[in-house]
């Protein structure tokens, strides 16, 4: 039973890490698409070369900041999830020793739900930050 619980927890953690990595990659792709926007290219052609250079610099700084921030958040999420999982495993071992399968299953379900909620909240915050940086 404990082995099954540990396997489930490990799978959940791997899935969460994969989701976070995908989110970061998607953000980078979106940011790159924003930086190389067709309208902006036209505007840069119209505007003076120096002004264009400033626009590009500002966009690149924004790009770097958002990418760094996304990576930091991803790392924080992974660390938090790992800590939660370690605590949960400790609790599950105690529960498994003293309780029924039903209790363990309920605890696992609750943990999975909590972790999913945390990831969703992080993704929403990331999207808000991305939109804010893009359209400031």
| Enclosing domain of residue 127 | 23-30+38-134
Per the domain annotation, does 2 fall within a domain?
no
In the chain, how many domains are there?
A: 1
Per the domain annotation, does 118 fall within a domain?
yes
Per the domain annotation, does 69 fall within a domain?
yes
Per the domain annotation, does 6 fall within a domain?
no
Per the domain annotation, does 58 fall within a domain?
yes
Per the domain annotation, does 12 fall within a domain?
no
Q: What is the pLDDT along the chain (136 residues), one digit of tens a residue?
A: 667 777 777 777 777 777 777 677 666 666 666 665 555 555 545 555 555 555 566 666 666 676 677 777 777 777 777 777 777 777 766 666 665 666 666 777 777 777 777 777 777 777 777 777 666 5
Per the domain annotation, does 128 fall within a domain?
yes
List own/partner pairs for 82-85 with CB under 8 A and 24 or more apart: 82/13, 84/111, 84/114, 84/115, 85/9, 85/12, 85/13, 85/111
């Amino acid at each position: 039973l404990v082995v099954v619980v540990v396997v489930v927890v490990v799978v959940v953690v791997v899935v969460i890490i994969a989701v976070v990595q995908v989110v970061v990659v998607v953000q980078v792709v979106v940011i790159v698409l924003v930086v190389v926007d067709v309208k902006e290219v036209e505007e840069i052609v119209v505007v003076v070369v120096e002004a264009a250079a400033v626009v590009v610099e500002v966009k690149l700084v924004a790009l770097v900041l958002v990418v760094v921030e996304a990576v930091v958040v991803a790392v924080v999420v992974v660390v938090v999830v790992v800590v939660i999982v370690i605590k949960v495993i400790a609790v599950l071992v105690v529960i498994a020793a003293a309780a029924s399968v039903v209790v363990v299953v309920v605890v696992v379900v609750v943990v999975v739900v909590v972790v999913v909620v945390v990831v969703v909240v992080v993704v929403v915050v990331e999207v808000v930050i991305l939109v804010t940086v893009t359209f400031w």
